[in-house]
Structure 1
């Protein structure tokens, strides 16, 4: 395989690499993402294959292999000159050999109901984080339409910028911020327990949540984060909470369309009274959340290793850019328990989707949290969010 030199990794890639380096072999597959994309009616399998190959030409991370080094922070990425797309069905539980081949596979499957085919994708988080997967889907549809796309940024270019002298102060400040917040957070003894996964289908439509956030003059993710902190305070009896947000680190327009792993966990402190007025709490959480995101890029080898049992973790999945935010009625709620998956990482983790209705997926691996406690937490958070939505202006 012919490749272009050996380039350093971005800080986001390094964070993922460090997490993989301490993970047991049986858990390496847990960073794989299983994705399904629809394609327009009338699209042939050959057209999809051509578009996927063009996608690999466009985005270097889809042509990249990784060269380990004696020092973990010295790992290098090698960009292959020719696209190597493996059009073969794969299991999400099959780990990738990151040093041997690009870490993704794609195949086309016909719909069972006779509709248009769908693209199935298994891709490692090191090649593309959640935001990057959405960029890839958008680019794929543009390529199928025959659109001309502007040049895409490359991870190696971002990695070089992050090691430049004028970026060093930003890395240092972010590292100091992270150390300061973690040191100030109350330490609560935690022991790991059985894994419980559940999803709350809240029935609260996206338009209602968006309207509530605008009324409070905060963003939608801030509203969800505030309610998360409120639910933690209500169920644990502790008002001060250490929260970890997954920062996408794509606020700079030059990396907004970068396909790679850019995400890093950033901490913040929140003090919430579940019975208190929402507006001042949301404003305080908003300030803390923005400050945290401003320190989202740091050198993972210059700070203490992640302690995934210290604090509570949160990821926000935004609505599509063209999402309909028209008012609609709240529908009945329900809690669905899910099969176990991904034993590595955070032991208390919530992922919030907001479109078309709010869905809260919770994963807990802590003693004292069984199905009843997880359902109570999700019910509490749904109640608090509904109260925020129904609160008069």
Structure 2
């Protein structure tokens, strides 16, 4: 297809590109996301194709390819003028050829499935977690024929991030990131076999929210504080370098953008293993909010991200318009999971908040097997249970 112009990437897209640049070929698929959207009974294949095409017309990231450069930071994006809908079922392990094809594909179970679903595989450089939810919402609105406002574009955001008004922000974020990492203690890490587990804490999201309110912190930062406290308790180290995933969607102009905006931002927690949780939570709440102000940075302007330094953390919030939140605390249990993605952080905790708190742990550090993972998850669950059971 005819290419008219190329554009720079957003800082979030660049962060994803920098991570891809050091992966071996067999790990390139690991940034693929699997999505499944329910559709009303009777929806036809033709309707699904039409709406997916309209979705690609609406959101430029679904019509974008990425052109490498000799300087990795000089990669460019090209927005194709016409939508290309790859309507075929393929394994999530099939990587995308980013310079040659838009980074998504879709297929439909068919109207006779129960329930009928549209399935998507989409690369994280085209849509982060928040963008995936925007795509789902827009898909259903287009299917109903609802009117939609114009969608923001990644190239507009990329241009703003390179404008004079944004440069002080990028410089401050880079300085903050460098100072925080340099101040953190460094323990040599050797990668080992992967251990994955999910701790079903049984704690309802609403109960955790009330505990956070009592401690005057946000629910994500309560979980982040418990994470820091559990790391201190299980390692005996007072200082913990934590990396939280910054959504970078506070600005009104990017809240409905379909692209990759997320970046890892560090904070340093200096609290011993015997510190009371309320004190740790207050410190973490302030430090996390300060860190998020520096969530947009140029990943090629400083040292490359070291995924073996520190503990990584992601908070997955409840869906928009969720069902009523349960109040009963359920019995806890730990579920052991099969290995999956081997790229990225070697110690990574993802918290799914709704309807009950789940702690998804992945570790790839030598000497950290099931016993150590179970101890960490048990410690974190105990700390969280104690926090939610404290009297008001």
Q: How does the TM-score come out when normalised to structure 1? A: 0.97
Matching of residue 249 in structure 1 with residue 248 in structure 2:
yes
Structure 1 segment 222-301 matched on structure 2, within 5 A: 222-301=221-300
Gaps of 5+ in 1: none
Report how far residue 380 of structure 1 moved. 1.1
Question: How far apart in 1 are the matches of 2:357 and 2:37?
Answer: 21
Question: How far apart in 1 are the matches of 2:273 and 2:38?
Answer: 41
Question: How far apart in 1 are the matches of 2:106 and 2:316?
Answer: 23
Give deviations 1:347-382, integer Å, cap 9, x for gaps. 000000000111111110101110111111111111
Gaps of 5+ in 2: none
Q: Which deviates further from its counterpart, 207-216 or 82-91?
A: 207-216
Report the secondary structure of 2:88's partner residue.
coil
Matching of residue 168 in structure 1 with residue 167 in structure 2:
yes
Contact 2:246 2:265 in 1 (8 A): yes
Other-structure match for 2:45: 45
Question: How far apart in 2 are the matches of 1:310 and 1:102?
Answer: 33
Report the secondary structure of 1:2's partner residue.
coil
Other-structure match for 2:207: 208
Contact 1:43 1:116 in 2 (8 A): no
Aligned residues: 392
Other-structure match for 2:83: 83
Contact 1:241 1:269 in 2 (8 A): yes
Report how far residue 275 of structure 1 moved. 4.3
Contact 2:174 2:302 in 1 (8 A): yes
Other-structure match for 2:303: 304
Other-structure match for 1:366: 365
Report the secondary structure of 1:123's partner residue.
strand
Cα RMSD of the aligned pairs, angstroms, is 1.4
Question: How far apart in 1 are the matches of 2:316 and 2:271?
Answer: 23
Question: How far apart in 1 are the matches of 2:278 and 2:32?
Answer: 39
Other-structure match for 1:149: 148
Question: How far apart in 1 are the matches of 2:355 and 2:3?
Answer: 43
Q: How does the TM-score come out when normalised to structure 2? A: 0.97
Question: How far apart in 2 are the matches of 1:157 and 1:258?
Answer: 10
Question: How far apart in 2 are the matches of 1:307 and 1:296?
Answer: 16
Question: How far apart in 2 are the matches of 1:124 and 1:48?
Answer: 20
Runs of 4+ in 1 over 6 A off after TM superposition: none
Report how far residue 280 of structure 1 moved. 2.3
Report how far residue 324 of structure 1 moved. 4.2
Give deviations 1:112-138, integer Å, cap 9, x for gaps. 9x5231111111111111111111111
Contact 1:191 1:367 in 2 (8 A): yes
Report how far residue 52 of structure 1 moved. 1.3
Contact 1:28 1:95 in 2 (8 A): yes
